[in-house]
Amino acid sequence: MAETTRFLVAGEWRSGSETFDVTAPYDDAVVARVGKPTERDIEDAIGAAHQAFEETRKLPVHVRAEALMHISARLKERAGEVAELIAREGGKPLKWSKVEAARAASTFRWAAEVLRRGDDELLRLDTEDSLGSRLGVVRRFARGPVLAITPFNFPVNLVAHKMAPALAAGNPIVIKPATKTPLGALMLGGLYTETGLPAGMLSVLPVGGSEAGEMAKDERFKVLSFTGSSEVGWGLREADPKKQVTLELGGNAGVIVHEDADLDMAAQRVAFGGYYQAGQSCIAVQRVLVHENVADPFRSKLVAEVEKLKTGDPMDPASDVGPVVDHDSLGRISEWVDEAVQAGAEVLTGGKREDPFYLPTILTRTTSDMKVCQQEIFGPVVTLGTYSDFEAAIEEVNNTPYGLQAGVFTKDIDRIMTAHRDIEVGGVIVNDVSSFRADQMPYGGTKDSGFGREGLRYALEEMTEPRILVLSHVPL
């Protein structure tokens, strides 16, 4: 029998009483057999985090920053190994897994840099005669233990985006990774144990959704950071309204291609943004609107770019598009596309299920009420429509329950500023697709796409609270 991959409880590696298999989406091969935490393991992790907070909240900046830099350096050293781990457990093509591994190292580095820079404020309070001679000192303090729940699609970097700011803030953190892809989080747990930070400051528990839901109700957690589906996320927020909650949820991102755009570049970037993760990213391109004056040439260019993509084994360095994560997701994607075609949509390329893949697909003649336009397909499917009026295109991008990110291709500064003002999303990406993310930028959405922001400085704000010290009767 294969050796069981253990999980981390406050510095102790445990095996649990049961195990579950992590299988590769490409060929269903068993990648690892992982120990399943028991109720006792969960209680020990939460209790340790609660107890450790008295120590972790007082840790000097240099101690926290050096630990973060150590993890960053180790991720760089092991970049090839980390990328292969991501590709094996999640099915992400190796070329994109390498990008994720590099980003994770950057995420921990950014957390250390933001921490060292600091964000304390001095406020002059002698602004009115009645206030006297006073000075305000505003500092941010750790809120307390964090519960982090992460999805399958970025098994290392999305864990890093919760783990790094929590450690930077001085908050203990319990990480619940997706059970489809727990190995990246467990690897990060191993790097944490090399740092010398308090053992109780980090636990990694690969438990199921029901256990995570119960953990989210525990009053000892002061912060909940969740990335996943909208339905689950909003339910967790309602379960304990006293918690500080950050939700990074779904999306069905729109991209506008205006008539003055560089059509070659736009087609290349849409072909990347719609399919690089087999569409399994909340900021993947899903809906493209192109100006009617350039619709025909853009359509031809986009189809050509998409048909260049190689779908195949994620361990093949030449593969651009990997498998869909599981058979249920394949079935749902196929069903939605077939339903759209039956309602009048036209397939320009793809439109076929070839397990474990869904071929990169472009649909046209769709209508805004179709599931492929209104809901998050989370698969390699892009819809292509046209518009004549830029403001109408913005309205169509907004015609969805989601609002995470959008892309706009144009050289016109007035249209750029109008898009920034009027598109109801957390981020507008100009002359690139919605799929762009720099790890230090504020990242999050509006409407059903979430609540709060990630991105190191912004995540630190979510995980800390300001407290003012007023110095009275001081010479100013």
Q: Which residues are catalytic?
A: 248, 282
Nearest-10 Cα torsion for 437, 438, 441, 445: 10
- Spatial separation of the C-alpha atoms in residues 383 and 362, rounded to whole Å: 6
- CA distances for 67 relative to 8, 72, 170, angstroms: 18, 9, 12
Instruction: Write the secondary structure of 236-268 as one string of H (helix), E (strand) and C (coil).
Output: HHHHCCCCEEEEECCCCEEEEECCCCCHHHHHH
The SS3 assignment for 196 reads coil
> 423 burial class (0-12, 13-18, 19+ CB within 10 angstroms)?
buried
- Spatial separation of the C-alpha atoms in residues 297 and 268, rounded to whole Å: 13
For residue 268, give the amino acid letter.
Q
Report the residue count for the chain. 476
- Spatial separation of the C-alpha atoms in residues 235 and 231, rounded to whole Å: 6
- Spatial separation of the C-alpha atoms in residues 48 and 221, rounded to whole Å: 11
Question: What φ, ψ does residue 101 adopt, rounded to 5°?
Answer: -60, -40
Question: What φ, ψ does residue 424 adopt, rounded to 5°?
Answer: -90, 75
H helix and E strand count, the chain: 15, 25
**Secondary structure E strands in 309-431:** 346-349, 353-354, 357-358, 361-364, 381-387, 402-403, 405-409, 427-430
The DSSP output letter for 293 is G
Q: If we measure between CA atoms, which residue out of 363, 426, 419 comes closest to residue 395?
A: 419
366 CA to centre of own chain: 28
For residue 88, give the amino acid letter.
R
Specify the residue for token string 């290392």: 156
Tokens matching residue 88: 């094996």
Q: Measured at the alpha carbon of residue 130, what is the angle toward residues 127 and 131, in degrees to the nearest 5?
A: 55
